[in-house]
Amino acid sequence: MNDNDCLFCKIVAGEIPSKRVRETQRVLAFRDINPKTPTHVLVIPKDHYADVADLVHADPELAAETLAVAAAVADDEGVTGSGWRLLANSGPDAGQEVFHMHLHVFGGKPLGPMISA
Ligand code: 5GP
Ligand code: ZN
């Protein structure tokens, strides 16, 4: 199911261009438009879920597949050995901007402390 007003649903539909790096029938990985690290890829379920809790409650298998695609992207990017970070923002305190669940895959340089004070 898609949401007409959702940016990432439009990316899934190809209405907004993106640099796709990996895709399954139900999951899409594409480069973040404003990369924070040399590798910065977003991994999303193609169906619309607002955040991690929504996805995991509705379809735990799809949540697992999304996680597996993130790990495959890390492999593709050559950062499995050097190290990488997975991040999912949920809600206002986390600063979530796009309310279509996404995993950030960061890597390609030392990533510093886990979180700023
Ligand atoms: P959030 O803050 O919701 O976790 O992250 C949203 C991410 O989406 C940000 O890192 C932002 O750079 C990225 N983003 C926003 N608009 C676009 C877009 O049109 N295309 C792509 N590829 N990434 C986007
Ligand atoms: Zn969406």
pTM (global) more than 0.85: yes
Structural domain includes residue 115: no
Ligand 1: atom nearest CA of 40 is 10
Overall number of domains in the chain: 1
Per-residue pLDDT of the chain (117 residues; tens, 9 = 90+): 577 799 999 999 999 999 999 999 999 999 999 999 999 999 999 999 999 999 999 999 999 999 999 999 999 999 999 999 999 999 999 999 999 999 999 999 999 999 987
Q: How far is CA 26 from CA 79, 91, 100, in A?
A: 24, 24, 14
- What's the CATH number where 86 sits? 3.30.428.10
Q: Kindly state whether residue 117 falls inside one of the protein's structural domains.
A: no
Look at ligand 1, atom 24, and give the residue with the nearest C-alpha. 33
Asked if residue 66 belongs to a domain, the reply is yes
Q: For ligand 1, pick from 11, 54, 98 the residue to mutate: most ligand atoms within 8 Å of CB.
A: 98
Cα–Cα distance measured from residue 113 to residue 52, given in angstroms and rounded to the nearest whole number: 23
Q: Which two tokens stand for residue 56?
A: 């995991």
- Other C-beta atoms closer than 10 Å to the C-beta of 47 total 18
Is 114 contained in some domain?
no
Structural domain boundaries enclosing 35: 7-107
15: Cβ below 6 Å to ligand 1?
A: no
In a domain, 59, yes or no: yes
> Does the residue 113 lie in any domain?
no
Which parts of 14-100 fold into alpha helices (H)?
Answer: 52-58, 60-76
| Closest atom, ligand 1, to C-alpha of 7 | 19
CA of 60 from ligand 1 middle (Å) equals 24
